[in-house]
Every structure is written in structure tokens, then in C-alpha cells.
Chain A
């Protein structure tokens, strides 16, 4: 907590310290533009943003849990459950979207609240609590759909993930998912960096005992952090359902990608430090890496290796910097 208030003052006096994730992102985008000049056209970067939107939203939610000192491994299977559940509930009825989407958002909040309650009241470490939740939700998604999800999501539901708003000046068109992304990230950034809740989340992650002695309602804040992560999972599920279709593995791997994105953005595992915009930058960088590897025509296994190397390198560099600067 102390350094998050002291740092901006010091930074203003000297050169502004840029979070390295933005340099990484800039370098990656330059590389993509170099490989594919079409990327500077609205079609290029808007599609990129549209593809990155679910992961970016997920990372923005995950940051809350990471900064508060925990992990949320359940978001990937929450995405699967949201997509499968929506297709079962809407049952090809376009008018059902009106109540299915609020229901799914409530589901996300509910899952987050249960995660938070398990961590706070049963005192199960969040790694295990959300791992159990991940297994449970995956099982529920299978159970609900009988193993083979059928049906399609109606177009009204897919509106958020797939539709474009045309005839916008300057950029020609804006995907709806990008608008959702901007709004959600804006709100989460405000909540984290401009309100008491955000400061309390940081305080808990930094030193839970000190935070409690200072009068922070630790349990309430932690549960809120998990609920925000669950909500972001449900939102990501709704967007993914729009352009990825229905299957029982849509969400697989997203929990680790979200954590990777947050870490690339400089969030400190086990709490106390992290920023929502930087995590979104991390998500964009991760998507850019995948895009770049795609352009290079590298097969899936190589992408995996590169992702692993980047993940380790990012954290090792962050630790090195932290030791050098002594913060």
C-alpha cells in the first residue's frame, strides 16, 4: 500500500516510468504491422481488439483477485458453463436473450461469491478453492448438456460477441464487443484505482493483518474481488459465445491465459500490486503474440513453447527490476 501512494510522486519528478508491458505491446504491434500492413486498417485492428476482448475483460477481473492475494482458476470453466448454459436456456428462442444474459451475469457473481466465501469462511487457500470450483463447474457444464451440447445461440445473444456497428466516422465500424471491452475496463479501472475499494484490495494483498487492524472489512473486500472476477468470467463467456459457438471446451485454458496476462501487466502474484489497464495491456500483448505466431505460420506446439518462454521471461525480468530498484 505504501509504495502505491508514494510512487506516483517520485515518478512525477523524474522521468515517467512506463510499464514495460506497453513497450512489449508496441513492439509486437510494430512487428505485426511489418508482417501484415493491412493491420493499420480498421478491419485489421478492430478484429484484433474483438478477438482480444474476452481475454482482456477476464484479465481485468483476475487482477482484482491477484492483487488481493489470491488466484481465480475457475473462470475458464465458468466461461464454458455460461456458453453451454445460455444455449440450453435460450433454446433457439431469440426473445429469451433478455432474461438469459442477466441470469448469466448473476451466475458469474454467484460463483464468485461462493469462491470468496469458501476462501474467507472455510479458510481454504484460493488455489484449491477455485480449482475445486473449476472441476465442479466443468462437471456441471457436461451434466447440463449431457456431454454433447446441442443447439445454437440465437442471433440476439450473439449480438455482443459478433455484431459490428457500421458507419462510424474515422474507424468505419466498431465491433460491439470492443464497446463492451472499453466500458467494462473503464469501470474496473475506476473501481480499482480511484475508489476506496481498490485501495482496500491493495491493502489486503499487501498485508492482510495490517489491513484488518486498519479497519478494512477483509472478508467483504475479498468476496467482492472474487465476485468481480466471476462477473468478468460471465461477460467473457457471453462475448465468446457470440463468436466461438457452443462447445464444452470454449473456456479451457482461459484461466491460465488471464493470469498470464495479469502477470505480463506487472501484477504481483500473492498480492499487493497490480493495475487493471496494465493487465488489459498484458492481454492485448498475449493476443498479439498469438497473432504474430499465426502470421509466421508456426504450428501450435511452437506457440506453446513460445508462450511458456515469454511467461517465464516476463516474471524473471519483473523480479530483476524489482530487486534493482528496491521497490
Chain B
């Protein structure tokens, strides 16, 4: 009994009465940044998070970070400014903004730094100017489709198609009303040489356009003026490892990231546009009215 008591007492003294444990192990990574440089707009923006040791409600205090974007070829540096945004879900977020002229096909260095000199950075090359070209038009009754090849584009993301139409109720002798309907439609294909191409099928989209304009097929008239193809041209590094953008996959830190000593993704891209005017017989074959 005595031996036992001594053994237990020794163990207790050796072990101490409380052991601290930290659920968070220190990391040298400092910032997480989400954004992109857009050479087609003046105002650039990026969402920045400080990598925190505790998951706390966000506060509207300054982030204490300096963000700068350097044009690597010219050496010109632009310092971005911090702004605090209150989102509808009640969280505050830091969005860094700058009026910076971003050139096509140019390399930039994005840097975030604390007053203590800790920082995260990313390098990005903006896409070159593109040269979209209509490469194919299939014009068959009730089966009209066409392809546009996007020469010089590293890749296309987030394709939208805007149909510019005019419409009126059948039997009405009044003027046509004009409108534009934007659909997330079309297919992005990649050619053997890596050049992206988009496939648009107006015949298939007709039903969605009628529905969005509250028109009825066979009763109302709808003329097609033009089609604007609006892909988002992304920089080379803006590639999801799975090919698509599933948040359940991409949420894992590091999965889609080009940020050194940090997390997140900073790319470059812009929304491009190419207007297609279909010939009258193609418009009719697609199911639209010819004015």
C-alpha cells in the first residue's frame, strides 16, 4: 500500500496538475488573398484575410497589412488601400482597392506585408489580348449552333451568352420591344493546341429566353438581333485541379493556390466579348422571327 501510494504520488508530481494544449499550431503563413488583376478595368480589388489563431467574429478594425502590386517589367509599384465591408451575413471583410492600369500579357508581383515585415506574395501574368473568331456555323432547321475560337486566350472560365432580341405578342401590330437576356449557357472546349473554343446553341437556348421574357412559343414573336458571347478569360495559373470549381473541393487550403507564405489565389482575367450576327436563314432555323 505504501509503495503504491509513493508511486502514485510520484506520478502525480511528475505529471503536474494541468497540461496546456493548443488546438492551433503556429504557422509562418500570414495572409490569405482572393482576387485577380483585370486589365480591362481601372479599379482593382482583392479580398484579404489575416490567418488568425482563433475563429472569432470579424471586426471592422484595420487589417494592418500593406498591399502592393508591382509591374515586374517596369518596376512600377502601386500600393492598394484597405477598406472594410459589412457583408449581408453580418461579417466584416477587408477588400483592398487600387486604381491601377494593368497591362495585358504582363507579369505582376502581389505582396502583402505586416508592419513587422511578415508577408505573403503571389506572381501572376495577365492574359494577352485575345482574337476571337467565328469558326463554324451549323445552320439546319431547328438545329443552329456555332463555335467561336478564342485565339491567344490561356483559358476561358464562367461563360455567359447575351441574346439581344426584340419581341411582341402575336397579332399585335405594335412595335417590337427590345431586350437582352443573359444566360449561363454554352460549352467551353479546348482544341488540340490548347486554344479554347466556345460552342453556342441558340436553338437550345430559345426556350430559356422565352421563359425569362414571359413569352410563349407559337404565340408570341421574338426576333434575334445579335448574340454576345461573354467568356471570362483567365490567366494560365487559374486552373482548378479537378477542371471545375466545386467549393467542397477547393475549400481545402492549398488546393487552388499560388500564394507564397499564405493561402488563397490571386490570378488575372477579364470578361471578353464577341458579337455574332447570324444570317437571317439561321435566325429563322433557330426558331426566332425575322423582322
A and B held together in a complex = no
